[in-house]
Amino acid sequence: MSNGAAAAVSSPRRRAPLPLVLAAGLVAAAAAVPIAYLVVRALSADEAGRALVSLDLTVELVVNTALLAVGVVAAALVVGVPLAWLVVRTDLPGRRLWGLAASLPLVIPSFVAALALLGALAPRGLLQQLLEPLGVEELPEVTGYWGALLALTLSTYPYVFLLAAAGLRGIDPSAEEAARSLGSGRAAVFFRVTLPALRPSLAAASLLVSLYVLSDFGAVSLMGYDTLTTGIYTRYEALLALDAAAILALVLVALAVVIVLLATRFGARGTIYRSTPGAGRQAEVVPLGRWRWPALAFCTSVLGLFLVLPLGVLVWWSVQADPITGRAGIAWDAALNSALAAGVSAAVGALVVLPAALLAWRYPSRIARFLERLTLSPSALPGIAVALALVFFGARVGGVVYQSLGLLIFAYVLRFMPYSLASTRASLDAVSPRLEEAARGLGRKPLGATVSVVLPLARTGILAGAALVFLSAVKELPATLLLRPIGFDTLATRIWEGTALGAYAQVAPSALLLVAIAAPLVYLLSWRNAWELGAAD
Amino acid sequence: MRKLTVAALAAVITALTVVAGAATAPEQTTSLTIYSGRDRVLVEPVLDRFEQETGIDVNVRYASSTALATALVEEGRNSPADVFWSTEPGTLGLVAARGLLKPLPQATMNKAPARFSTRSKRWVGTSARSRVLVYNTQLLEQSQLPRTIWGLTNSRWKGKIGIAPTNGSFQAFLGAAIHLHGEARMRTWLRGIRNNEPRTYPNNTTTVQAVARGDVAVGLVNHYYLYNVLADTPGLPIRNHWFQSGDPGSLVLAAGVGIVSSTKKHAAAQRFVEFLHSKWAQRFIARGPGAAEYPVVRGVPIRPGLRPLAQVKGPKYSLGRLSVDLPKAVRLLLEVGLLK
């Protein structure tokens, strides 16, 4: 990010206004308190609680979780990078459409992906019924590790695709051209020049994907694969063991921190350098020629598996009742609740990060950087850990706070405000501080200048950030299960309850609605905005 | 400083609650908050009727009985709950042991037989259910079924058994068996079950559905889920099998209810408990759509075709013991690796 540039042109008045520092500090503190609660609780666990997390079991769950993260990252890279290259760099027929379609699975929550894949690929599922005339009597079962891998790849490869596509657009083509002119073939250029230049984007994407896998609860439990999140949930839900859940949650947070440190080391701080300033040149388009057909086959099979198949299953179930569990309608009340909670979270999430973003943009200092980091840190916190911390906190405080919609929204905002901060920061960096100074010079008060001049210029990033918070909140499952107020069902929890009763087909219309609510937001996030989001630290 | 941050945080959340609350319905003043471990489909009609009859509004938090017991313990005096309606006596006992349930009046205790309540009067049974082995009639003849749970460790059941180890009733069965047969023997039994590679399901309903589909041949469940699944889809090839008399696999359990100590709505809560013992509620629990539990109040008929409770010969076991035996069952399940 262009911190250096912003600092170079900023005004001589470097001291940040105290209210701004206090506001940013309060938000950052709110991010830190729940985890402090979790630590205290885990450390004060009694013997009975500790007995329900043996070392062997903890190691097994950590290994399971890590193996899944590694597998999903690898699969998402294998799917996402070639797709991005084909869409950005080649003359693939219909590449704009492929690009849009490739980012669409972003709106399919992992638990919806899992239940659709289970329905399609079960030994006697829908795919087998389709293939029955060809003599296929039973398909192999796709559950456990491979099932979870498939469902999570579906939900996460779009991050790799979007960031790789943005990275490819941002690469200065001159290095590739130089390599070509020195006699390297296309493949050699791709592996020796393009891929290394993409490293920051891919590291950032891998970080996003692995944190997603760490937080996932729905897909792994539907697929019957034991990870840290399922271990935490089992202790909360079925074992009378909140202390044990807190201990495992802390292990999960530690694993997330390790992953962030690893990714940072391997260059996740994504900066794409250009050799020349000013507007970038686009790389030349690679003609595919005969390779067009395998390329199209690749795109078709990826999107067939990850978009057409799951949506097809949901549509099929919506029109055709399941022989065991029957049919049901759309949970409109739950949809309203989802929209309400996610909507308020998006608005609050956009507002609360403004002090930190303005501070970092206008008054860069060690404190500003520290507060920004702290506000960004919850992006590494799995939702179930945040929720558990807030359950402890809420039960202790009680009163109107406990089991309130406010606490749920607080969890959403806390968990997802890093997205909104990153996005807001990225667009603020494009605003010259001189404009604000001009407004001040013309007699505006500091707050007035910010509101009337700066924020409108940064609105794209602020809105994209809010959209990302909305999208994430609407899909959120584990924290919602733990924190929702009495009688407050969201689409996610209603779908989850349905799956717990084996009523996959009954919840299909609600799952489709959830996807439909989230779908338009992909438009906001795709292409240009994704570049900004991805490039932001 | 920490106090200050916590206070500030509480203030922020309160503000959020007010903002969000303005958008939702206003809070009712004469309302009762019920923590229900029982499924929504079996509870909602009862609550609707209660609201109609009494004019008292009811809020329900649905979750597993275990999760609700955990929540009640965590909340302590702060609990918003007035009533805890649980599927399983062990969780009631655990909450009662912490002093979080009030003693019930003797008249209420007298409604249910002593075997379905507790001497401490902290909870009373609302319905009874038996553990059974549900089986797929297309895959198995009745004569092929084991006469005791010990038979299930035979290798011919490999890959054919469905269980729900996170389910409170399954854990209660195991807890009772640990008391009756000793931990060592049950450890051996559980290992035998584990070596038979059972399929695990999240609850009774999905276990019965899996048996109906033929994914597994038999499932260890509560007896009435069969009727629940058959109500959705009549004609499925499933039937209940009772183990021989005295076998822990035929344990008779009770669902029960208690009043939370911290309630400020004692009269309304008491009224709700009484309503659950009313003829109408007991009849619904016994014969409502998809329902087939045993009523606890005398004179209410059971579902036609269901084996009468007098003919279900479970083991002799006092349900009040479950608050001690349930945690043992959980530890054993973790130790053997059926839970993770």
Over residues A289-306, the pLDDT tens digits come to: 888 899 999 999 999 999
B330, A52: Cβ pair inside 8 Å? Answer: yes
Contacts with A400 from chain B: Cβ below 8 Å: 14, 17
Measured CA to CA, the distance from residue A21 to residue B31 in angstroms comes to: 44
What 3-state class would DSSP assign to B133? strand
Contacts with B64 from chain A: Cβ below 8 Å: 237-238
| Segment A389-408 mean pLDDT | 84
**Is B101 in the same domain as B74?**
yes
Q: Which of residues 287-346 of A touch B (CB under 8 A)?
A: 323-326, 340-341, 344
Assess contact for B19 and A400: CB atoms under 8 A: no
What 3-state class would DSSP assign to A353? coil
Amino acid at A127: L
Mode of pairing for the β-strands spanning B294-295 and B252-259:
unpaired
What 3-state class would DSSP assign to B125? strand
- Number of H-type helices and E-type strands within chain B: 12, 10
Q: Extract the tokens encoding A138.
A: 């039973």
User: Which of B82, B84, B92, B45 has the alpha carbon at shortest distance from B63?
Assistant: B84
User: Average per-residue pLDDT in chain A?
Assistant: 84
**Is B213 in the same domain as B231?**
yes
Measured CA to CA, the distance from residue A532 to residue A166 in angstroms comes to: 9
**Is A30 in the same domain as A63?**
no
Q: Is the pLDDT of residue A24 over 60?
A: yes
**Is A392 in the same domain as A310?**
no
B288 is a domain residue: yes
**Is A311 in the same domain as A345?**
no
Task: State the DSSP string of B177-224.
Answer: HHHHH-HHHHHHHHHHHHHT--EE-SSHHHHHHHHHHTSSSEEEEETT
Q: Extract the tokens encoding B94.
A: 């655990």
Q: How many CB atoms lie within 10 A of CB B180?
A: 17
Angle at B117 between CA B115 and CA B123, to 5 degrees: 170
Mutate: best of B70, B209, B338, partner A, most A CBs <10 A? B70
**pLDDT value, residue A535:** 36
Q: How many CB atoms lie within 10 A of CB A9?
A: 10
Q: Does A118 touch chain B (CB under 8 A)?
A: no
| Segment A154-163 mean pLDDT | 92
The residue in chain B having the minimum alpha-carbon distance to the alpha carbon of residue A399 is B78
User: Which of A22, A30, A32, A24 has the alpha carbon at shortest distance from A360?
Assistant: A24
Amino acid at B238: I
**Is A470 in the same domain as A345?**
yes
Lowest mean pLDDT among A33-37, A324-328, B151-155: A324-328
Over residues A441-472, the pLDDT tens digits come to: 888 887 788 888 888 888 888 888 898 899 89
B104 is a domain residue: yes
**pLDDT value, residue B187:** 97
**pLDDT value, residue B254:** 95
**pLDDT value, residue A267:** 61
Residue appearing with tokens 């929890």: A493
**pLDDT value, residue A527:** 47
**pLDDT value, residue B140:** 95
Q: Extract the tokens encoding A228.
A: 């840290």
B339, A224: Cβ pair inside 8 Å? Answer: no
- Specify burial of residue A26 (Cβ count, 10 A radius: 0-12, 13-18, 19+): middle
Q: Extract the tokens encoding A178.
A: 């130089």
**pLDDT value, residue A531:** 42
Helix axes B168-181, B322-336, angle to 10 degrees: 100
Name the pTM for this structure: 0.86
**Is A171 in the same domain as A263?**
yes
The residue in chain A having the minimum alpha-carbon distance to the alpha carbon of residue B16 is A406
Contacts with A26 from chain B: Cβ below 8 Å: 8, 12
Assess contact for A148 and A220: CB atoms under 8 A: yes
Measured CA to CA, the distance from residue A130 to residue B261 in angstroms comes to: 58
**Is A342 in the same domain as A263?**
no
User: Which of A19, A2, A35, A1 has the alpha carbon at shortest distance from A377?
Assistant: A35
Contacts with A29 from chain B: Cβ below 8 Å: 5, 8-9
Structural domain of residue B148, as residue ranges? 129-251+321-336
Q: What CATH number should be reported for the domain holding residue A256?
A: 1.10.3720.10
A1 is a domain residue: no
Shortest Cα–Cα distance, A395 to chain B (Å): 5
Residues 6+ apart with CB under 8 A from B1: none
Residues 6+ apart with CB under 8 A from A502: A324, A325, B205, B206, B209, B210
B38 is a domain residue: yes
**Is B120 in the same domain as B34?**
yes
B69 is a domain residue: yes
Q: What percent of chain A has pLDDT over 90?
A: 34
**Is B104 in the same domain as B42?**
yes
Angle at A450 between CA A448 and CA A456, to 5 degrees: 110
**pLDDT value, residue A410:** 93
The residue in chain B having the minimum alpha-carbon distance to the alpha carbon of residue A502 is B206
A61, B91: Cβ pair inside 8 Å? Answer: no
Measured CA to CA, the distance from residue B33 to residue B56 in angstroms comes to: 10
Q: What CATH number should be reported for the domain holding residue B184?
A: 3.40.190.10
**Is B52 in the same domain as B106?**
yes
CB half-sphere exposure, B13, CA atoms < 13 A: 30
Q: Is the pLDDT of residue A31 over 90?
A: no
- Specify burial of residue B30 (Cβ count, 10 A radius: 0-12, 13-18, 19+): exposed
**Is B274 in the same domain as B290?**
yes
With cut-offs at 50, 70 and 90, classify the pLDDT of residue A528.
Answer: very low
A283 is a domain residue: no
| Segment A303-329 mean pLDDT | 80
Assess contact for A303 and A101: CB atoms under 8 A: yes
The domain total for chain A is 2
Measured CA to CA, the distance from residue A514 to residue A490 in angstroms comes to: 10
Bridge partners of B220, per DSSP, are B133
Measured CA to CA, the distance from residue A451 to residue B92 in angstroms comes to: 56
The residue in chain B having the minimum alpha-carbon distance to the alpha carbon of residue A226 is B340
What 3-state class would DSSP assign to A427? helix
Q: Is the pLDDT of residue A322 over 80?
A: no
With cut-offs at 50, 70 and 90, classify the pLDDT of residue A351.
Answer: very high
A240, B64: Cβ pair inside 8 Å? Answer: no
**Is B61 in the same domain as B185?**
no
Assess contact for A361 and A428: CB atoms under 8 A: yes
Measured CA to CA, the distance from residue A26 to residue A386 in angstroms comes to: 18
B49 is a domain residue: yes
**pLDDT value, residue B249:** 95
**pLDDT value, residue A526:** 60
**Is B224 in the same domain as B241?**
yes
**Is A28 in the same domain as A63?**
no
Q: Is the pLDDT of residue A7 over 90?
A: no
Measured CA to CA, the distance from residue B95 to residue B70 in angstroms comes to: 8
Structural domain of residue A268, as residue ranges? 45-273+291-316
B23, A401: Cβ pair inside 8 Å? Answer: no
Q: Is the pLDDT of residue A324 over 70?
A: no
Mutate: best of A59, A247, A388, A486, partner B, most B CBs <10 A? A486
First to last CA, chain A: 8
At A91, give phi and psi (nearest 5°): -95, 30
| Segment A348-362 mean pLDDT | 91
Measured CA to CA, the distance from residue B51 to residue B28 in angstroms comes to: 13
The residue in chain B having the minimum alpha-carbon distance to the alpha carbon of residue A352 is B12
**pLDDT value, residue A321:** 64
Q: Is the pLDDT of residue A530 over 60?
A: no
Lowest mean pLDDT among A32-41, A136-145, A319-328, A483-492: A319-328
Q: How many CB atoms lie within 10 A of CB A196?
A: 12
User: Which of B115, B73, B38 has the alpha carbon at shortest distance from B320?
Assistant: B115
- Number of H-type helices and E-type strands within chain A: 29, 0
Q: Look up the ipTM and state it.
A: 0.84
A399, B78: Cβ pair inside 8 Å? Answer: yes
- Specify burial of residue B210 (Cβ count, 10 A radius: 0-12, 13-18, 19+): buried
Contacts with B23 from chain A: Cβ below 8 Å: 340, 344
**Is A25 in the same domain as A70?**
no
**pLDDT value, residue A404:** 87
**Is B157 in the same domain as B203?**
yes
- Estimate to the nearest angstrom the gap between the alpha carbon of B236 and the chain centroid: 24
Residue appearing with tokens 């549509």: A315
Measured CA to CA, the distance from residue B89 to residue B95 in angstroms comes to: 10
A286 is a domain residue: no
**Is B105 in the same domain as B155?**
no
B14 is a domain residue: no
A397, B78: Cβ pair inside 8 Å? Answer: yes
Measured CA to CA, the distance from residue A204 to residue A269 in angstroms comes to: 7
**Is A111 in the same domain as A133?**
yes
**Is B233 in the same domain as B160?**
yes
Assess contact for A465 and A422: CB atoms under 8 A: yes
At A458, give phi and psi (nearest 5°): -95, 10
Q: Extract the tokens encoding A426.
A: 């990225």
**Is A78 in the same domain as A221?**
yes
B60, A486: Cβ pair inside 8 Å? Answer: yes
Over residues A183-229, the pLDDT tens digits come to: 888 888 888 888 888 888 888 889 989 999 999 999 999 999 999 99
Contacts with B85 from chain A: Cβ below 8 Å: none
- Stated length of chain B: 340
**Is A112 in the same domain as A227?**
yes
**pLDDT value, residue A127:** 79
A30, B20: Cβ pair inside 8 Å? Answer: no
- Estimate to the nearest angstrom the gap between the alpha carbon of B39 and the chain centroid: 9
Q: How many CB atoms lie within 10 A of CB A133?
A: 7
**pLDDT value, residue B10:** 60
Q: Which of B13, B21, B64 lies closest to A410 in CB terms?
A: B13
Q: Which of A61, A399, A409 lies closest to B340 in CB terms?
A: A61
**pLDDT value, residue B18:** 57
Q: Which of residues 354-373 of A touch B (CB under 8 A)?
A: none
At B4, give phi and psi (nearest 5°): -65, -45
Helix, strand, coil % (nearest 5) of chain A?
A: 75, 0, 25
**Is B119 in the same domain as B158?**
no
Q: Is the pLDDT of residue A282 over 90?
A: no
With cut-offs at 50, 70 and 90, classify the pLDDT of residue A270.
Answer: very low
Amino acid at B116: F
The domain total for chain B is 2
Amino acid at B304: P
User: Which of A375, A351, A345 has the alpha carbon at shortest distance from A473?
Assistant: A345
With cut-offs at 50, 70 and 90, classify the pLDDT of residue A537.
Answer: very low
Over residues A47-96, the pLDDT tens digits come to: 877 888 888 899 999 999 999 999 999 999 999 999 999 999 899 998 88
A60, B15: Cβ pair inside 8 Å? Answer: no
Contacts with B40 from chain A: Cβ below 8 Å: 497
Contacts with B20 from chain A: Cβ below 8 Å: 340-341, 344, 404-406, 409
Contacts with B171 from chain A: Cβ below 8 Å: 238
Which positions of chain B have pLDDT values less than 70? 1-29
Measured CA to CA, the distance from residue A494 to residue A510 in angstroms comes to: 8
Measured CA to CA, the distance from residue B172 to residue A378 in angstroms comes to: 39
Task: State the DSSP string of A301-345.
Answer: HHHIIIIIHHHHHHHHHHHS-BTTTB-----HHHHHHHHHHHHHH
**Is A307 in the same domain as A365?**
no
Mutate: best of B3, B6, B14, B17, partner A, most A CBs <10 A? B17
Read off the DSSP letter of residue B114: G
Q: Does B91 touch chain A (CB under 8 A)?
A: yes
A324, B213: Cβ pair inside 8 Å? Answer: yes
User: Which of B226, B87, B229 has the alpha carbon at shortest distance from B169?
Assistant: B87
Q: How many CB atoms lie within 10 A of CB A188?
A: 12
A391, B212: Cβ pair inside 8 Å? Answer: no
Assess contact for B220 and B173: CB atoms under 8 A: yes
